[in-house]
């Protein structure tokens, strides 16, 4: 009885040793195993096409950079029409590439700005701690990996993460439309339809940096905004029809798509260029989208000295660097309308879809 009592109340030396070993193993197991937050990240995903309610915030594996890539901790992202086109799967012709019945890739977002937290063994241009911005699929997430020579560049020192994240798609589209497609030169007249939008606010400032005379078309409530970023003249489309005005332009940049070729023929100089990047909104174009413009515009150009062009921008590293330099010189300031947390990305896209955003809509991923 006494023996049984002593055994139950006082552990033997062997039992004590076993308990100590068990605790040690448990301690080192917890120390060695990474926490869940270290190997996963939050990301916005969608598994079916539709309105913004198809978007969800989920935990996904944290990516690992390849030998030629960098891992970026995303601090801010921005929303583009590109995103809601993919979310809805419209125009329907795009589904031939991204998935007929449902998206092949569940990730969304392109524009990002953040801090490099890891690099592949062959990367020389970037190092951990660098503040960068650029574009990569799946940017509505806490981390992205980007190739060293891909769509990524060092942030300008005078820009915030939100400002830098606003730049890639809209800024590069404006730059390439004016410089590469429109061949804008100092002293020329350019009209920007949709001047208060994402692409438009960049186009106004870039055109001024090129030395052009800028006429901005926008609504009454946005007139002061476009004047503040450099527009020489403002046409309020709620009061005036610019296609009926006597002024003729060397270049028209249409970011809205609410006017046809014949309208622009009237406002262009004999050898003027019209660059159209707006989606329009006609019901039939839900099926073919820009394909209609790709067919119509070259045909019209064959029969006139004027030129009508549509194009899709390409996110080039050198253009990101060019825009970063303009920002650093004080010649370009991204215009930000609203900010949303990552969990409210659906609300951000819905706001942009409604068509009244002034400048860019930004996602805070902090």
* Residue 172 main-chain phi, psi, to 5 deg: -70, -35
On average, the pLDDT of the chain sits at 86
Judging by beta carbons within 10 Å of its beta carbon (0-12, 13-18, 19+), is residue 235 exposed, middle or buried? buried
Q: What is the dihedral of CA 153, 155, 160, 165, to 10 degrees?
A: -10
| Mean pLDDT (whole number) for 340-354 | 96
pTM for this prediction: 0.85
Task: Give the closest residue to 170 by CA, choosing from 143, 154, 190, 192.
Answer: 192
Query: Are the beta carbons of 322 and 345 closer than 8 angstroms?
Result: no
CA nearest neighbour of 332 among 340, 341, 322, 342: 322
pLDDT at residue 1, as a whole number = 39
Alpha-carbon distance of 292 to 355, in angstroms, equals: 22
Task: Quote the percentage of the chain above a pLDDT of 70.
Answer: 83
| Residue 177 DSSP symbol | I
- The alpha helices in the chain, defined as continuous H runs, are 2-9, 13-32, 36-39, 81-88, 95-98, 161-165, 168-175, 198-209, 223-228, 261-267, 285-288, 291-302, 317-328, 345-353
Q: Is 51 left (phi over 0), alpha (psi -120 to 50) or beta?
A: beta
Q: So what's the pLDDT on residue 93?
A: 75
Q: Extract the tokens encoding 41.
A: 């990240």
How far is Cα 252 from Cα 105, in angstroms, rounded to an integer? 36
**Cross-strand bridge partners of residue 309:** 275
Q: Which domains does the chain have, with CATH numbers?
A: 37-167+334-364 (3.90.180.10), 170-310 (3.40.50.720)
pLDDT of residue 8: 36
| For residues 83-93, average pLDDT | 84
**Cα gap 218→359, rounded to integer Å:** 12
Among 282, 301, 302, which Cα is nearest to 292's?
282
The confidence score (pLDDT) of residue 85 equals 87
Residue 179 has pLDDT above 70, yes or no: yes
The per-residue pLDDT for range 228-275, each reduced to its tens digit, is 999 999 999 999 999 999 999 999 999 998 888 888 999 999 999 999
**Token pair 């940017």 in the structure block, residue:** 139
Give residues with Cβ within 8 angstroms of 67, minimum separation 6: 120, 121, 122, 123
Report the pLDDT value the prediction gives residue 261, as an integer from 0 to 100.
83
Residue-wise pLDDT tens digits, 132-178: 999 999 999 999 999 999 999 999 999 999 999 999 999 999 999 99
Among 34-43, 146-155, 272-281, the least confident range: 34-43
CB-neighbour burial class of residue 9 (10 A; exposed 0-12, middle 13-18, buried 19+):
exposed
> pLDDT tens digit string along 97-127?
887 888 888 999 999 999 999 999 999 999 9
């Amino acid at each position: 009885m006494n023996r049984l009592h002593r055994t139950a109340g006082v552990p033997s030396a062997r039992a004590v040793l076993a308990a100590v070993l068990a605790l040690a193993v448990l301690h080192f197991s917890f120390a060695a195993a990474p926490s869940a937050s270290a190997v996963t990240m939050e990301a916005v995903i969608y598994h079916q096409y539709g309105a913004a309610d198809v978007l969800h915030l989920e935990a996904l594996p944290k990516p690992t950079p390849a030998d030629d890539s960098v891992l970026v901790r995303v601090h801010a992202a921005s929303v583009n029409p590109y995103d809601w086109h993919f979310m809805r799967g419209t125009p329907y012709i795009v589904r031939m590439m991204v998935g007929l019945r449902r998206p092949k890739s569940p990730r969304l977002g392109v524009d990002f700005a953040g801090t490099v937290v890891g690099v592949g063994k062959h990367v020389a241009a970037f190092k951990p701690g660098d503040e960068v911005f650029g574009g990569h699929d799946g940017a509505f997430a806490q981390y992205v990996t980007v190739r060293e020579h891909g769509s990524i560049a060092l942030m300008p020192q005078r820009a915030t993460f939100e400002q830098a994240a606003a730049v890639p798609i809209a800024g590069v589209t404006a730059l390439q439309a004016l410089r590469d497609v429109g061949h804008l030169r100092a002293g020329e007249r350019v009209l920007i339809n949709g001047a208060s939008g994402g692409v438009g606010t960049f186009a106004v400032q870039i055109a001024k940096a090129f030395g052009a005379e800028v006429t901005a078309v926008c609504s009454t409530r946005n007139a002061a905004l476009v004047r503040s970023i450099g527009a020489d003249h403002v046409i309020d489309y709620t009061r005036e029809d610019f296609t009926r005005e006597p002024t003729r332009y060397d270049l028209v940049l249409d970011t809205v798509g609410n006017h046809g070729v014949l309208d622009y023929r009237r406002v262009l100089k004999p050898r003027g260029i019209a660059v159209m990047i707006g989606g329009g909104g006609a019901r039939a174009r839900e099926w073919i989208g820009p394909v209609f413009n790709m067919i119509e515009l070259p045909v019209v150009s064959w029969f006139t000295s004027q030129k009508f062009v549509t194009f899709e921008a390409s996110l080039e590293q050198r253009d990101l660097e060019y825009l970063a330099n303009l920002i650093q010189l004080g010649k370009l300031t991204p215009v930000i309308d609203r900010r949303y947390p990552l969990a409210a990305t659906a609300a951000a896209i819905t706001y942009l879809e409604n068509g009244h955003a002034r400048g860019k809509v930004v996602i805070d991923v902090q």
